[in-house]
Structure 1
Amino acid sequence: MVRPRTRAVTAGRPNEPGEPLNTPIVPASTYVAGGDFTYARESGTPTWVALEEAVGSLEGGRATAFASGVAAVAAVFELFPIGAEVAVPTFSYSGTRALLEHAEKQGRFTVRQLEPEDTGAWRAAGDEVDVLWIESPTNPTLHLMDIASLTGRHAKVVVDNTFATPLAQQPLADGADVVVHSATKLIGGHSDLLLGVTIAADETLAQELRDARTRNGATPGALEAWLALRGLRTMPVRLAEQSKTAALLAERLEAHEAVTKVRYPGQGMMIAFELADARAAERFVGRLELIVHATSLGGVESLIERRARYAGDAHVPPGLIRFSVGLEDPEDLWGDLENALG
């Protein structure tokens, strides 16, 4: 089997004589009867299928593309029965927790929040609850969770693999039931699309997720799917370069007197670091000139923000900065950081 970097380039690519080298944008909703495609909401489009084949190849399962990462999360929630108990990390993507809080208010789920690195509590929960919703690294604090030790229990295991990407870990191989991505982030890689993906190794689960997309009409656009597939082709080289820069900047941030804590998982392009308080953090982001103060991540440009300024992350340390490292020159990025810190 070819290595992930090769699969990122080749999976989902046409290979018949006379076909285009890359699947084109197919902006069609309706197809002539008698073929594999009928109506896009139900059968998909060639562009969606190519993206799904490529992501599924990297994650080791059957992928389904959605209109956004939150749409993908919502579809996964439809797999679980009314009254299910779901364990979720206290520090995790605010969109996921908002959906869970809404479902709990409606009486659909019971939510149990656990500290992400309390592995003992997560193992115990695996025998008690219906669903373990895992992020590793967590958003925005970059805590790591032991996925392999939490599978094989009573609970279904869902892993949001957006930060790690399938290049760093394949949760399905560790026994997870479903993997979720916000393809808006590293897969797309250019801050120009909204798209989500689910991946399941079990065909029944995969089909249930596809059925949920069909019922809810949470379908991706043809352009967005094509852009995500194009972004996926370069993800390995982008992430490798971004990770090198992130490791260098994390080391320098840790040595800076204004920084009280740095959390960097050892790979990847995300850094979380803390300043003394909210005021210091706001002053810092306001002084940056090269690094953009914005709320997303995973693009070619470096983005930074103080997460506790949002209601959904109000429990995050007030001085915590989430830093998505881009492809700029490392020394230019450090110069911007150092000036803003100083």
Structure 2
Amino acid sequence: MDENKWSPRTRAVAAGRPQGPGEPLNVPIVPASTFGAGGDRAYSREDGTPTWEALEEAVGSLEGGYATAFASGIATLAAVVDILPVGAKVAVPTFSYAGSRGVLAHAHRSGRLIVSELDPGDTDAWIDAAATVDLLWLESPTNPTLDIIDIKAIAAAASTQPHAPKVVVDNTFATPLGQQPLSMGAAIVVHSATKLIGGHSDLLLGLTVTADEGLAKALRDARTRGGATPGALEAWLGLRGLRTLHVRLAEQSRSAALLASRLAEHHSVVKVRYPGEGVMIAFELPDAEQADRVCAALTLIRSATSLGGVESLVERRAWLAGDAHVPAGLIRFSVGLEDPEDLWTDLLEALG
């Protein structure tokens, strides 16, 4: 059967598995840094390992390109920066992952890049920027405000420019099962596989995917130069997490939709941001003091950073220096696999 005809959920389960009689059903963890002379591999930093490659094959199949695994999500951005020329112009959403904006801000201060910020919802501004910048860094939905960016329109505008600016999409929140930005015109997709792909809050891992073989080689070379290679165990855990992504995503999304609708009706909640699908909700309380009180009062839902695991987590993002411009009372809520009625009871008691 042609793998390309499989559904995404089937590829998430089946892609990257060893084939043939006597082969293990799951790729082994290969904790080797070096290999015997005379073979296809010499040193894992340069040549990879079977464990990394199985993960890359599976995610590449889902996204429609060549995947490269990295030590963390932020390492993928470092690789993208590495392949840009000095003085390149980059546009990034005003509301987006603070870690990404922090890396880009540092590159701007050091003179490595020229970085500007744009309103994620102002599509016209992004289209105009495509005429002047070298790279458009997009998130959709954005972290933590869950804005939706028109990837197709921006990528189409970039494709008409003589200097061919690259569109890069952080697809962490949507996952490869929610959207495939390469099919929408993006040049590179990045993931923090630490989050939903891994799904269990037990690893650090990043991925880039591109349909351009030359660009894939450039990103892989940047990984080698920077030493941003994943651990064997982390790659194996990421692949194991990918196998159950479709069932986790479906169940957590159902709970998130239910909880978002109930939060929207609660008298203490000023605003709910939910894009209609996915595991992430952002809801706003009147001020930072009330938001902090609610986070501290929750018992089943944990107050902690990160997201996308099987457990529910909340965080008032404006406490971070990089997110100080986010509404002070905004709580980012990553909905887990607990019974949604138990989650709602916890929220009600904390809000009360």
> Which category of TM-score, normalised to the shorter sequence, fits these structures?
over 0.9
- Confirm whether residue 57 of structure 1 aligns to residue 67 of structure 2: no
Structure 2 CA distance for aligned equivalents of residues 321 and 253 of structure 1: 12
Unaligned runs of 5+ in 1: none
Q: How does 1:206-221 map to 2 (within 5 A)?
A: 206-221=216-231
Structure 1 CA distance for aligned equivalents of residues 183 and 83 of structure 2: 20
Structure 1 CA distance for aligned equivalents of residues 66 and 178 of structure 2: 19
Pick from 3, 8, 26 the counterpart of residue 30 of structure 2: 26
Shift of 1:204: 0.4
Which residue in 2 is equivalent to 1:159?
Answer: 169
Which letter does structure 2 place at the counterpart of 1:124? Answer: D
Which residue in 1 is equivalent to 2:141?
Answer: 137
Which letter does structure 2 place at the counterpart of 1:123? Answer: I
Q: Residue 252 of structure 1: SS of its match in structure 2?
A: helix
Q: Residue 151 of structure 1: SS of its match in structure 2?
A: helix
- Confirm whether residue 261 of structure 1 aligns to residue 271 of structure 2: yes
Q: Residue 114 of structure 2: SS of its match in structure 1?
A: strand
Structure 2 CA distance for aligned equivalents of residues 270 and 222 of structure 1: 29
Which letter does structure 2 place at the counterpart of 1:315? Answer: H
Which residue in 1 is equivalent to 2:238?
Answer: 228
> Percent of aligned pairs with the same residue?
71
Pick from 110, 115, 122 the counterpart of residue 111 of structure 1: 115
Which letter does structure 1 place at the counterpart of 2:151? Answer: I
Shift of 1:127: 1.4
- Confirm whether residue 67 of structure 1 aligns to residue 77 of structure 2: no
- The C-alpha deviation readout for 1:150-201, integer Å capped at 9, x for no partner, is 1142321000000000111100001100000000000000000001000010
TM-score where L is the length of structure 2: 0.96
TM-score where L is the length of structure 1: 0.99
Which residue in 2 is equivalent to 1:77?
Answer: 81
Unaligned runs of 5+ in 2: none
- Confirm whether residue 188 of structure 1 aligns to residue 198 of structure 2: yes
Which residue in 2 is equivalent to 1:249?
Answer: 259
Structure 1 CA distance for aligned equivalents of residues 72 and 145 of structure 2: 22
Q: How does 1:76-95 map to 2 (within 5 A)?
A: 76-95=80-99
Structure 2 CA distance for aligned equivalents of residues 45 and 74 of structure 1: 22
Which residue in 1 is equivalent to 2:280?
Answer: 270
Which residue in 2 is equivalent to 1:323?
Answer: 333
Q: Residue 180 of structure 1: SS of its match in structure 2?
A: strand
Shift of 1:38: 1.6
Shift of 1:33: 2.1
Q: Residue 344 of structure 2: SS of its match in structure 1?
A: helix
Which residue in 2 is equivalent to 1:240?
Answer: 250
Q: Which runs of 4+ in 1 moved over 3 A?
A: none
Q: Residue 266 of structure 1: SS of its match in structure 2?
A: coil
- Confirm whether residue 200 of structure 1 aligns to residue 204 of structure 2: no
RMSD: 0.7
Shift of 1:34: 2.6
Q: Residue 166 of structure 1: SS of its match in structure 2?
A: helix
Shift of 1:35: 2.3
